[in-house]
Amino acid sequence: MGARRDRILMLWNQVGEDEYVALAEAGPQELAFKPGEMASEVGTLQDELDALTEAVAANGYNVKSVNIADDVDTLIDTLRSWKPDAVFNLVEFFNDRADQEAYVAGLFEMMKIPYTGNTPRTLIDCQRKYRTKLLLESQGVSTPVSRRYHQVPVPRDHGLPYPLIVKPAREDASGGINATSVVHDYDALNEQVEEVIEFHQQPALVERYIDGREVHVAILGNDPPVVLPLLEYEFEEPEEEGRPKILTYEAKWDPLSPDFYALDVSVPPRDLPRHIAKRIREHAVAAYTVTGCRDYARVDLRLDADGTPYVLEVNPNPDLAEGVGYMLCAEKSGRTFVSTIGEIIEMALARGERRTPSQRARSTQRGTDARAKAKSTVRSAKAGAKKAGKRR
């Protein structure tokens, strides 16, 4: 009888229909703002999940994929009945609340089940953007100076230099960020803060706007964390005068929006001086460490006029879809989609209490073999997102 294969339970959460299904079924559509040009291909959530499931299986694991659908009984019953060796944690919200993402990871902790990605504390800290900034500042990591406001009017002597950017203090994936988020005077500041507080029902984070290059840093691993090739978002010159070059919600999520087509992706960044790239990597690793990240995360930065990097956000458990941001960086490093997924699983399995030292050693060796195989079959990373309708 052959050795038992490790059981990997892939958990995700989806309630209702995936809005991208309708776009995918509609097929190619002419863009209203670019007559004669068609919208990019749209990938659905199920497409991503199928690819991830296949990647887990390709690493030799026994995999089961379950949508917990906001049902805590389904979550607990599945964990108890299937008894996974590790959970591949893809849950990003619960009860339509992003902050409850951390509660799901906390359940894994209490049940002593190894899981991929970041801990409840890191998930909570990084979602609270102001808290993240305080952590970074306490350890000397550069981040734009900021204030948090719960009401308007904002004090006139707030002490921040214009232009400023206003964003929800507890959203991710560019939620609440649009062309009006960058403000240049006191009246516009109050208007934008009020909109965030009323529409998003949370405080507004106001910070210095860094009008420079935007570089994202994908990091993999723990001892030590490995910085993958850098990724830069290159913004086209806006047709509308004064429109800021920022990664809006529409730029990430809406394949029918002009914002989506106003940027490109470069891995690695073009014409980036070595010494600046080195500083970016150092700041990103420091941010990863300070916020307690593990396994994988993405750190978003901007460069000011003199090349100083400023950490904007730390994103634990970023999207792992093939052909988009994080995986573009992984592929450029010599890994494949399948081998990267394998590395992440092996890190979780190594934390399992039920595994003997010899089993852990075999897991480590399998991860090493997978990386070696990946390097021999390296695929070139695509310069743009392959599945345009999903997170960039």
β-sheet bridge partners, residue 218: 298
pLDDT at 388: 32
pLDDT at 375: 39
Q: CA-based diameter of the chain, in Å?
A: 74
Reference 24, options 385, 382, 390; nearest CA is 390
Instruction: Give the distance, in angstroms, between the CA of residue 117 and the centroid of all CA atoms in the same chain.
Output: 12
How is 2-23 classified by DSSP, letter by letter? PPPPPEEEEEE---S--HHHHH
pLDDT at 43: 85
β-sheet bridge partners, residue 65: 10
- Block residue for tokens 């906001």: 70
Instruction: Give the span between the Cα atoms of 80 and 206, in whole angstroms.
Output: 44
Instruction: Give the span between the Cα atoms of 330 and 374, in whole angstroms.
Output: 11
Query: CB–CB of 341/320 below 8 Å?
Result: yes
Distances (CA, A) of 333 to 170, 191, 217, 330: 32, 44, 12, 5
Alpha-carbon torsion, ordered 350, 352, 357, 363, to 10 deg: -40
Instruction: Give the distance, in angstroms, between the CA of residue 111 and the centroid of all CA atoms in the same chain.
Output: 26
Half-sphere exposure of 25 (CA within 13 A, CB side): 5
pLDDT at 358: 52
pLDDT at 112: 97
Distances (CA, A) of 3 to 60, 62, 80, 359: 11, 12, 22, 11
Provide the 10 A C-beta neighbour count for residue 76. 13
Sign of the torsion formed by the C-alpha atoms of 270, 275, 279 and 282: positive
Sign of the torsion formed by the C-alpha atoms of 268, 285, 225 and 98: negative
What tokens appear for 58 in the block? 């390709």
Low-confidence ranges of the chain (pLDDT < 50): 1-2, 364, 366-368, 370-392
Summarised one tens digit per residue, pLDDT across range 192-206 is 999 999 999 999 999
